[in-house]
Structure 1
Amino acid sequence: MRRYREILTVPGAWKFSSAGLLARSGSAMTGLGIVLMVSSLYGSYGLAGAVVAANATGWAVGTAALANLVDRFGQRRVMYPSTIISATALAVTVVLAANQLPPWMLFPPVIVAGLAGGSPGALVRARWNHVLDDSARLHTAFSLESSLDEVTFVIGPVLATALATGVHPVAGVAASVVLSLVGAQFFYSQRATEPPPHPQPSRVGSARRPALLIAGVAPVAVIGLLLGSIFGAIDVSVVAATTSWDVRAAAGVVLAVFSLASGVAGIAYGTRTWKSSTLRRLVIGMLALFVTTVLLLAAFNAISLGLLGLLLGATIAPTLINANTLIGQLVPTSRLTEGLAWVGTGIGIGVSIGSSLAGGFIDHAGYGAGLATVTGFGLVAAILTITTAPLIRNAIAAISDPADPDVVG
């Protein structure tokens, strides 16, 4: 744990890291909160998945655009008012659902909430990149943040489920609104560690294209999309499975087990100095993740699903750490927030695809079809990671070419 103590003693580090944890806690409750709210009040997992998909798609589209503005104008100037807009729109969604107004009315505000939500996780990682000056400590910092991401997904689902099943179906989403606003206030008030804006790109040619078109970034973003598809399908499938087993209130606990395993794995991963390349570890991690999605099909009650989820969860944080680390190797510093946000964008689009498809399959064939959807996405993710690895490897090699470090492949 010495590595973590070292980075947290950097001036201002523990303050912005803890504030960032709170800032993204609300979003950890939103997806599951919407599933619980809509499936309870409207009686349809298909509709619940569609509403989550709309929110996630809005978030995916908005995040990259907001990240580009953040790199140009600064975090607080862009994201503080944007977070207020997002929270307000989500609050409107809660009011509409609570009054069980026509389902179509849920979509406009939930899309706006996603568009304006942004990615606090990417902003925290950009701050680490700003305050740290070597790759070894940055690897530890990214590992810490990935583990803290999982902390939010340990606490968030449990809290969302407890509120939605014990207080009111809309209570979980309402709590996420409050947490997002409080977190934004604390995080964006941390001005000393905010990276300076970069009105102009620092590398020749960067202005001609978004960071997504920098060589190697697109394959990593698509890998993020498939990971997001797995996450989205898991959320809906776990709620459906526990409901089928008459233990709906256990859904949050089961999802928390997934995230707890991921968080512990992320912490352990960050304490070790690895000799193998980041790309190689990404491929191995994705293969392991696919194997664990196959094992989920054997679940027959909430306990077995949670135990199998431990194995799946242990593969998640290291895989995300490797994806974010690769982005740091591929994009210039002035484009880092945007580059990291493209991974988040991919995840957001994936969540929308996974939750929507799984919700539809569950409505027609039960929770088993949802778990099979998770496995299907795991297979595609493993195949894509293997097939795109040479492209990413070539892009990393091209970065070291002083003639053109921002080559498009």
Structure 2
Amino acid sequence: MSVISPVHSPAPTYAAVLRTPYARRTFGAALLGRLSYGTAPLSLILSVKGTTGSYAAAGTVMAAFGLTGVLLSPARAALVDRFGPRRALVPLATAYALLLVALSVATARPATPALALVVLASGAGALTPPLGPVSRALWSGMLTDRDLLRRAYSLDTVAEELLFVTGPLLVGLLVRYASAPAGLAVSAGLVLTGTLAFVTSPVVRGGTGEREPGTPERAVGRWGAPGAGVLRAAAVAAGVGMCLGAVELLVIAFADAHQSPGMVPWAAAALSAGSAVGGLVYGAVPWRVPTGVRLSALALGLGAVLASAGLSPHPYAMTGWMALGGLFVAPAITSAYLLADESVGEERRTRAGAWVNTAFNAGTTAATAGAGLLVGRLALPLCFALAALPAVVTAVVTLVPVPSAAGAEPRE
């Protein structure tokens, strides 16, 4: 079901995407709620460290928060696909916000038991509302023009990248003028306000994704086990996530080796800036190559750049390689979401996006831990090459044709 009629589709530009009826309201509300995902993690780490005085406790609580969030992401998305955004997102956002407030109160007190914080953080992670996957599913229902949809997904990916840059900056201001637990309370307010504004949008109330109670789904499994196209997208997303998770630590090791710690934020900024530029350019180009092929080519490009970065002779060169690698990041993630979307029917879009999101986050987390074991044991250029390997391998292995959703014509 489409919210707008594409009889006279506007020119496929970013402005045309935002001129789509209710797009700015819906997109803005979702971004407000998703800003919480940029503020909550750092606020949680700082708050737990403040109350327990232990980095180990902070790491454990954060691991519990991230692990339940990643592992249960497909299940939460399945709830949205089954019951619709309004019926699923509001309870999830309310429970998530309440748990963040509970964490804020608990960490504002001295010497709160770490076990209590682990339980609260695990619950918050498990109930994180999937605003990102739902937003992308709505874009797919609002825009039947694939060129417009690609621009919408690119815009979404770039905006999300910027949220994870501005979120920690906002936490920094809160810590300076208030406290870290206040950051958790603000995160709760952001997600609840954004979600309520999101679900009251006419697009959500009367359009895509709202299923009447008792309406059966097609035979897709209770929690929406992914099909071949979604698995392909998720596999490459996991490979890209592993690259980025490892490189974040490897850049720090490179800076230490060259006695230039000040380059670390510049390298991170270069990666983010390159990703934003790459995402916007990718969305503006009228591609004729199939999405799956684009995805594999972008992952290969990212792997090649990151492997080459390990040979950098100087911090300036490393920063340049990070900017170049960033050009592939947002386009690769966007392509993964597009491939997952076009591989399933309307009733599974949220789950398809959630599988990609879960794979990317899981890859990032696992590779960060793995890179920590490699640094100091192997030469740094070899570490960079090994970090690039997951993207290259998944791109090559998945570079095979995948049919579209059953009964649907290819949309490329």
Instruction: Give the TM-score normalised by the residue count of structure 2.
Output: 0.80
Is contact 2:236–2:299 with CA below 8 Å preserved after alignment? no
Please show how residues 296-311 of structure 1 align to structure 2 within 5 Å. Answer: 297=310, 307-311=320-324
C-alpha spacing 1:231/1:127, structure 2 compared with 1 (3 Å): same
After superposing the two structures, state which structure 1 stretch, 56-65 or 330-339, moved more: 56-65
1:67 aligns with 2:77: yes
Among all aligned residue pairs of Structure 1 and Structure 2, give the percentage whose two residues are the same amino acid.
28
Is contact 1:3–1:140 with CA below 8 Å preserved after alignment? yes
User: Which of 324, 338, 356 is 1:343 aligned to?
Assistant: 356
In 1, Cα distance between the equivalents of 2:279 and 2:358?
21
Q: CA deviation at 1:128?
A: 1.2
- 2:225 equivalent in structure 1: 212
C-alpha spacing 1:274/1:304, structure 2 compared with 1 (3 Å): same
Alignment-mate amino acid for residue 394 of structure 1: V
Cα distance per residue 1:274-314 (max 9 Å; x no partner): 12111111111111222333355468998776544322322
Structure 2 residue runs without a partner (length 5+):
1-10
- 1:383 equivalent in structure 2: 393
- 2:26 equivalent in structure 1: 16
SS in 1 for 2:127: helix
1:268 aligns with 2:281: yes
Please show how residues 8-407 of structure 1 align to structure 2 within 5 Å. Answer: 8-35=18-45, 48-98=58-108, 99-164=110-175, 168-170=179-181, 172-194=183-205, 195-198=208-211, 200=215, 203=218, 206-208=219-221, 210-233=223-246, 255-295=268-308, 297=310, 307-358=320-371, 361=373, 376-390=386-400, 393-396=401-404, 399=406
Q: CA deviation at 1:353?
A: 2.3
Q: CA deviation at 1:100?
A: 4.6
Is contact 1:37–1:164 with CA below 8 Å preserved after alignment? no
C-alpha spacing 1:302/1:90, structure 2 compared with 1 (3 Å): farther
Q: CA deviation at 1:340?
A: 0.9
C-alpha spacing 1:114/1:257, structure 2 compared with 1 (3 Å): farther
Structure 1 residue runs without a partner (length 5+):
none
C-alpha spacing 1:93/1:237, structure 2 compared with 1 (3 Å): farther
Alignment-mate amino acid for residue 156 of structure 2: E
C-alpha spacing 1:152/1:131, structure 2 compared with 1 (3 Å): same
Is contact 1:361–1:369 with CA below 8 Å preserved after alignment? no
Is contact 1:49–1:357 with CA below 8 Å preserved after alignment? no
- 2:17 equivalent in structure 1: 7
SS in 1 for 2:289: coil
Work out the number of aligned pairs and report it: 394
- 2:7 equivalent in structure 1: none
In 2, Cα distance between the equivalents of 1:166 and 1:326?
44
SS in 2 for 1:389: coil
Q: CA deviation at 1:150?
A: 1.5
C-alpha spacing 1:269/1:213, structure 2 compared with 1 (3 Å): closer
C-alpha spacing 1:196/1:319, structure 2 compared with 1 (3 Å): closer
Is contact 1:260–1:313 with CA below 8 Å preserved after alignment? yes
Higher relative contact order (CA 8 A, sep 6+): 1
From the two aligned structures, give the one with the greater helix fraction: 1
After superposing the two structures, state which structure 1 stretch, 211-220 or 164-173, moved more: 164-173
C-alpha spacing 1:119/1:45, structure 2 compared with 1 (3 Å): same
C-alpha spacing 1:77/1:291, structure 2 compared with 1 (3 Å): same
In terms of Rg, which structure is larger? 2
Instruction: Give the TM-score normalised by the residue count of structure 1.
Output: 0.80
Cα distance per residue 1:6-31 (max 9 Å; x no partner): 22212111110111111211102333
Alignment-mate amino acid for residue 30 of structure 1: A
After superposing the two structures, state which structure 1 stretch, 293-302 or 207-216, moved more: 293-302
Cα distance per residue 1:118-137 (max 9 Å; x no partner): 32111111111222222222
Structure 1 vs Structure 2 CA RMSD: 3.8
In 2, Cα distance between the equivalents of 1:289 and 1:77?
39
Is contact 2:307–2:387 with CA below 8 Å preserved after alignment? no
